């Protein structure tokens, strides 16, 4: 099943895909997808992200593949929903998207084995985790200012149940910018796959329902500018649309 959370008619609703471009709200109403404001499709708790989890992307950025997963945390204000806007500060010289499979945890997980890791997964969604390369300040990538900017990570549109994704490690990923394909990859090329990530993370921290793991992006990142429409798509999971806008759309000055 494909699940979503939307704002409609002054309230937040749980919704499901009714087909034909419509959403079915929990109260039974059918609404056109364009009439709703899309939110992240679940209530996120801890947001755990992976850097350089595809060898081709690490090479693209002139970094060696990591011997141990490179993990960092993100705050909830970093998230924006499907069809949302992400700000590009006016002083940024290179800002790029990152199409990522997002794994949503469904129940408490502590010291989980690789063999049982999928038992703790509720489902999957699509993430687009933007980065501003020139804001990096040291070798430990990425830093707080790069990956925790308000609205820098689009998430959605759907939370797809685990049972509907037989093999999350064989999914095609694709990004288009203004309709042009700029990134293609496959989750089979992750350095640390989903079971190993859950085993690794749960070995030193308790994962809980609503935690989400962003699993990294393959090569093919390009600079994006205000006005660009960026679509990150994962086979069987969904098509996440996001628009890049400038400072003026948020009434902000540089670096705020």
| 142/27 same-domain check | no
Question: Residue 121 has which token pair?
Answer: 């997964």
Do residue 19 and residue 139 come from a single domain? no
| Same-domain pairing of 69 and 182 | yes
Per-residue model confidence as pLDDT tens digits over 14-30? 999 999 999 999 999 99
Asked if the structure places residue 158 within a domain, the reply is: yes
Q: What is the pLDDT of residue 138?
A: 59
Is the same domain home to 10 and 76?
Answer: no
**pLDDT value at residue 101:** 98
CATH number, domain with residue 194: 3.90.850.10
Residue 89 binned pLDDT confidence (cut-offs 50, 70, 90):
very high
Question: Can you tell me the mean pLDDT for 222-238?
Answer: 97
Tens digit of pLDDT for each residue in 112-153? Answer: 999 999 999 999 999 999 999 888 765 555 578 888 999 999
Q: Residue 108 falls within a domain, yes or no? A: yes
* In a shared domain, residues 109 and 143: yes
111 inside domain: yes
Same domain, 77 and 135: yes
Report pLDDT for 52. Answer: 77
- Report pLDDT for 141: 56
Nearest partner of 214 among 228, 225, 201, 231, judged by Cα: 201
Cis before residue 168, ω within 30 degrees of 0? no
- The set of long-range contacts for 195-199, using a CB threshold of 8 Å and a minimum separation of 24, is 195/114, 195/115, 195/117, 195/118, 196/114, 196/117, 197/50, 197/69, 197/103, 198/103, 198/105, 198/109, 198/112, 198/114, 198/117, 198/120, 198/121, 199/112, 199/113, 199/114, 199/117
61 closest CA partner among 139, 145, 143, 176? 139
Do 156 and 84 belong to one domain? yes
**Residue 140 burial by CB count (10 A; 0-12/13-18/19+): exposed, middle or buried?**
exposed
Q: For residue 256, is it within any domain?
A: no
Indicate if 68 and 5 belong to the same structural domain. no
pLDDT value at residue 66: 61
What total of structural domains would you count in the chain? 2
Specify whether 35 is located in the same domain as 95.
Answer: no
**113 and 58 in one domain?**
yes
| Domain residue limits at 13 | 1-39
In a domain, 89, yes or no: yes
Give 32's contacts (C-beta < 8 A, 6+ positions apart): 21, 22, 23
**Minimal CA–CA distance to 149: which of 101, 77, 203?**
77
Is 255 within the bounds of a domain?
Answer: no
Dist CA 69 CA 145 (whole Å):
20
CB 72 within 8 A of CB 142: yes
Report d(CA 204, CA 86) in Å as an integer: 33
Q: Are residues 20 and 137 in the same domain?
A: no
Note whether residue 254 is domain-resident: no
Q: Is the dihedral of CA 148, 151, 153, 155 positive or negative?
A: positive
Q: Is residue 25 one of the residues assigned to a domain?
A: yes
Q: Are residues 68 and 30 in the same domain?
A: no
* pLDDT for 162: 98
pLDDT band at 109 (very low <50, low <70, confident <90, very high): very high
The per-residue pLDDT for 111 is 98
Q: What is the CATH number of the domain that holds 24?
A: 2.30.30.370
The predicted structure's pLDDT at residue 250:
84
């Amino acid at each position: 099943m494909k699940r979503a959370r939307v704002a409609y008619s002054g309230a937040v609703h749980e919704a499901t895909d009714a087909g034909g471009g419509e959403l079915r709200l929990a109260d039974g109403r059918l609404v056109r997808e364009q009439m709703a404001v899309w939110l992240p499709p679940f209530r996120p708790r801890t947001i755990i992200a992976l850097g350089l989890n595809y060898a081709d992307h690490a090479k693209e950025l002139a970094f060696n593949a990591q011997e141990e997963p490179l993990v960092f945390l993100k705050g909830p204000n970093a998230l924006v929903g499907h069809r949302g806007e992400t700000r590009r500060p006016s002083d940024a010289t290179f800002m790029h998207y990152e199409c990522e499979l997002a794994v949503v945890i469904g129940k408490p997980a502590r010291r989980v084995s690789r063999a049982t890791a999928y038992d703790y997964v509720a489902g999957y969604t699509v993430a687009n985790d933007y980065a501003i390369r020139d804001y990096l300040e040291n070798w430990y990538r990425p830093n707080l200012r790069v990956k925790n900017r308000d609205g820098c990570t689009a998430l959605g549109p759907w939370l797809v149940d685990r049972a509907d994704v037989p093999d999350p490690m064989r999914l095609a990923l694709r990004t288009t910018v203004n309709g042009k394909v700029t990134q293609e990859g496959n989750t089979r090329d992750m350095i640390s796959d989903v079971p190993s990530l859950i085993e690794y993370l749960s070995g030193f921290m308790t994962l809980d329902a609503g935690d989400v793991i962003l699993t990294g992006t393959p090569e093919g990142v390009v600079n994006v500018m205000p006005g660009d429409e960026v679509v990150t798509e994962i086979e069987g999971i969904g098509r996440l649309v996001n628009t890049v806008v400038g400072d003026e759309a948020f009434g902000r000055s540089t670096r705020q």
